[in-house]
Amino acid sequence: MRRLCIERNILVWIACSWSIVGCESLPLDASQGSNSAFVDSVLQSMTLEDKVGEMTQLTLGSIGVGKPYKLDEPQRLDTSKAFTALVKYRVGSILNCGNHQHTPEQWHEFIEAIQKYAQQKESQVPVLYGVDAIHGPTYTTNGVMGPQQIGLAATWNDSLVRENAENTAVQVFGCGIPWNFSPVLDLGRDPRWPRFWETFGEDPLLASRMGVAMVEGYQNGEVPIAATLKHFFGYGFTLSGKDRTPAWIPERELREYFLPSFKAAIDAGAMSIMVNSGEINGIPVHTNKFMLTDLLRDELGFEGVVVTDWEDVKYLYTRHMVAKDYKEATRMSIEAGIDLCMVPIGFGFTNSLLDLVKEGSISEARIDESVRRILMMKKQLGLFETGGMPPPLEDYPDRREFEGGAAQAALESITLLKNEGQHSTDAAQPVLPLGGTGKVFVTGPTAHSLNALNGGWTGTWQGTDTLHNTPGMPHLAEALTNRLGANRVVDQRLSMDFKTADIDRVVRSIQQTRPDHVVLALGEMPYTEMPGNEEDLALYPNQKALVRAIHQTGVSIIGVFIEGRPRTFNDVEPLMDAIVMAYLPGDFGGDAIAQVLEGSYNPSGRLPFTWPRHPSSHLTYDHKHTEEISADSSTNAFNPQYQFGHGLSYSSVEVTELRLDQTAYAMSDTIHLMVLLTNMGNRSTNELVCVFSQDSVASITPSVDRLRYFDRVMVGPHESMTLNASLPVEDLSFINADLQEVVEPGAFSLRVGSKTIAFNVNE
């Protein structure tokens, strides 16, 4: 059904806006017959060499002039390398960017040249180009960059996620690229993991809803591109917290927590999946037939393309040590179920695969299965109709069309964690919003950095190169100056590795200027994957020292975290009067934070994760009852800095009543809830309503809370309103010891805010 949708859109789009390029020269008529008949006929015409080429993906760096990881500038194709890869080896897919952005014009030049090489091979099958455009068109100059996934999750607004993904698709496809390595559907259940910020947070339901929205945004819009679900699966929950290190996750827990987001997105029609680079229970996932075939294909019914992650077949013998050489590694990954290998440099995989088939270790029928899927994806993306050529450059969209979506997402993500005085009964004003007068001193290591706002996968892989920043977008200090006026704002730059002398300089400057508030931007500079591994989750010592020193001046501190994961800071938290989490809000993040601070926007972001109080005692909200018991046998062991779902607004909304339509339900029933909400303040508030379930007794120890439903509602000033929600009883299920998804009859309750209501589920 979804597949039909993507094809229909592609064909309408091709017909409306783009004369077909290169079709005449294709050996087969792509417009005739069914897709599978077409794909079969292409497959039949291919030689074994054509087929193993189709299963090979190389990086742009491997066919450019210069070294693969350091191409010569200006970047261009190396005619000899491109001919060898695309014509001699018939490589069917290319990825990424030579580690920097390109203008749409440059992308067109690359893609057109690559497709012209593809036309020189016998089969003429077009090349499938893929990139990581994970929070906007990462590798396109002047692309519109919105919040990273962790910030999108904090909006709890899936229609906004869909809109931003659709906008990314238009910009990426405008460059001639039909395939995106996004979304990440791993869960962020361990903030030590350096890709935490690439996730939608810790909860399976939230990640599923957001993931489906993102897939739909990429694939079902007017100009669709293929989505890739990453990284299948259980990546990001390693024992050490470090990237690509061993995870030990029993199958029951894999199914309970880590599978639902992938299953939901597969059901939504996702066209491809990328494999987890790590090992689970001692088996590298790239060799795990149970996960990649039995579960993914036979049980979940996934029919799309399974692509490896970067260099992961090679790593089977260079890092994981489960294969003795490239050939054995290739055989193991093919037997497990991969279709396309992100090699991404050299022909070790291609040559090994050819040898394996020739010597009979792998059957040609197995190769055909994968090639059929790859050709089908190319067909569904319209590549056979267009020859894979980019759409006309004149049609490249105006970035202003997409700025609104990214700015709104940034705004809705900003989460107010603390606001001293907000709930006090005395006449004292809360710290935020900043009034219309008073001086603000802005400092901190992330206050003057657009890179910090954007995070990794921005312009480059690590996102640290200022050369690729979008011109004209303000960092936080600039944005605050724009909003409050230059006469109210004083700022002082700090680098990430500032020293005691720099702290002294800032303190002196604060003492001289005597501001009303210090806006202190803390957090992290961009990173992803292994470069983001940390030894300690605590906020960096120099940042804590800065908080302490500024606190000594007596000026109130508004802490703003611009970072991809919650760093622990319980020892300096009391020294800050207000605290805001901005995540990695993208190019529009500076202004979004400024709007929240000045008060023109009433903050609506809510944490998509639990913020730990101490670096070594992290628990998620859905922990077990035994994890609440402290050493002294009291039940206060779960004591995070901030709860999952936490976030203040300037006008707080309370749950004043919770009702159910019945006191007992049958298994096939739907529970109808009525949640009465009352806005206690004088501003409209965009409130998040979360419904958590508690299973009193279950055959697998139940979690203290499980999120079963959420919605956002607008509650007017001093208004009371009722939210009606429906929850099928089957949504209270869990995975039992036999790996079955079940609801066990008995006593349950539902909690919304501080109200809980009990009911029974009958046999």
Q: Which parts of 655-684 interact with ligand BGC (CB under 6 A)?
A: none
DSSP, res 83? I
Of 220 and 460, CB closest to ligand BGC: 460
The number of beta carbons lying within 10 Å of the beta carbon of residue 318 is: 12
Does 310 participate in binding ligand BGC (rule CB under 6 A)?
yes
Of 243 and 563, CB closest to ligand BGC: 243
Does 312 participate in binding ligand BGC (rule CB under 6 A)?
no
At closest approach, how far in Å is the CB of 310 from ligand BGC? 4
Token pair in block for residue 267: 């059901």
At closest approach, how far in Å is the CB of 148 from ligand BGC? 13
Of 343 and 729, CB closest to ligand BGC: 343
At closest approach, how far in Å is the CB of 474 from ligand BGC? 29
**Separation CA 413–CA 436 (nearest Å):** 24
At closest approach, how far in Å is the CB of 230 from ligand BGC? 5
Q: Which parts of 90-149 interact with ligand BGC (CB under 6 A)?
A: 96, 132
Does 529 participate in binding ligand BGC (rule CB under 6 A)?
yes
At closest approach, how far in Å is the CB of 132 from ligand BGC? 5
**Separation CA 681–CA 716 (nearest Å):** 9
The residues with which 128 forms a beta bridge, in sequence order, are: 93
Of 96 and 164, CB closest to ligand BGC: 96
Binding mask 323-362 for ligand BGC (x = CB under 6 A): ----------------------------------------
At closest approach, how far in Å is the CB of 207 from ligand BGC? 16
Q: Which parts of 217-236 interact with ligand BGC (CB under 6 A)?
A: 230
**Separation CA 88–CA 538 (nearest Å):** 52
Q: Residues 127, 100, 81, CA angle at the centre, nearest 5°? A: 45
Asked whether 74 and 105 are in contact (CB, 8 A), the reply is: no
Of 46 and 91, CB closest to ligand BGC: 91
DSSP SS3 for 432 = coil
At closest approach, how far in Å is the CB of 744 from ligand BGC? 38
Amino acid making up residue 517: H
Q: Which parts of 4-33 interact with ligand BGC (CB under 6 A)?
A: none
Alpha helices in 566-646 (DSSP H): 589-598
The number of beta carbons lying within 10 Å of the beta carbon of residue 492 is: 20
At closest approach, how far in Å is the CB of 193 from ligand BGC? 12
Asked whether 184 and 231 are in contact (CB, 8 A), the reply is: yes
Of 529 and 571, CB closest to ligand BGC: 529
| Nearest residue to 651 via CA among 602, 723, 588, 690 | 602
Does 419 participate in binding ligand BGC (rule CB under 6 A)?
no
At closest approach, how far in Å is the CB of 198 from ligand BGC? 8
With CB under 6 A as the rule, give the number of residues binding ligand BGC: 9
Of 343 and 432, CB closest to ligand BGC: 343
Does 491 participate in binding ligand BGC (rule CB under 6 A)?
no
At closest approach, how far in Å is the CB of 473 from ligand BGC? 24
State how far Cα 185 lies from the chain centre.
7
Does 609 participate in binding ligand BGC (rule CB under 6 A)?
no
State how far Cα 94 lies from the chain centre.
22
At closest approach, how far in Å is the CB of 285 from ligand BGC? 12
| Nearest residue to 525 via CA among 576, 466, 473 | 466
Of 132 and 534, CB closest to ligand BGC: 132
Scored b (16 or more CB within 10 A) or e, 535-571 reads eebbbbebbbebbebbbebebbbbbbbbbbbbbbbbe
Q: Which parts of 269-288 interact with ligand BGC (CB under 6 A)?
A: 274, 277
Write a three-state SS string for 649-695. Answer: CCCCEEEEEEEECCCEECCCCEEEEEEEEEECCCCCEEEEEEEEEEE
Of 274 and 323, CB closest to ligand BGC: 274
Q: What is the dihedral of CA 99, 101, 103, 105, to 10 degrees?
A: 20
- CA separation (Å) from 196 to 193, 379, 409, 525? 6, 34, 19, 14
Of 181 and 326, CB closest to ligand BGC: 181
Token pair in block for residue 641: 């800095």
* Catalytic annotation, pick one of 50, 132, 190, 309: 309
Query: The dihedral of CA 184, 190, 195, 198: what is its sign?
Result: positive
Query: The dihedral of CA 441, 494, 540, 645: what is its sign?
Result: positive
Q: Which of 166, 216, 309, 705 binds ligand BGC (CB under 6 A)?
A: 309
Class of residue 113 by CB neighbours under 10 A (exposed 0-12, middle 13-18, buried 19+) = middle
Per DSSP, the residues of 504-515 read HHHHHHHHHH--
The two beta strands, 653-660 and 720-728, are unpaired
| Nearest residue to 567 via CA among 542, 591, 598, 592 | 542
Of 233 and 310, CB closest to ligand BGC: 310
Q: Which parts of 250-269 interact with ligand BGC (CB under 6 A)?
A: none
DSSP SS3 for 516 = coil
Does 197 participate in binding ligand BGC (rule CB under 6 A)?
no
Does 56 participate in binding ligand BGC (rule CB under 6 A)?
no
Q: Which parts of 557-596 interact with ligand BGC (CB under 6 A)?
A: none
| Nearest residue to 480 via CA among 505, 451, 443, 526 | 443
At closest approach, how far in Å is the CB of 231 from ligand BGC? 6
Q: Which parts of 365-384 interact with ligand BGC (CB under 6 A)?
A: none
Q: Is 695 assigned a catalytic role?
A: no
Token pair in block for residue 288: 């795990």
H/E element, 443:
strand 440-443
Does 181 participate in binding ligand BGC (rule CB under 6 A)?
yes
Does 200 participate in binding ligand BGC (rule CB under 6 A)?
no
Token pair in block for residue 758: 């009990």
Token pair in block for residue 123: 């089969």
Asked whether 182 and 216 are in contact (CB, 8 A), the reply is: no
Of 277 and 649, CB closest to ligand BGC: 277
- Site residues (vs ligand BGC, CB under 6 A): 96, 132, 181, 230, 274, 277, 309-310, 529
Catalytic residues: 309
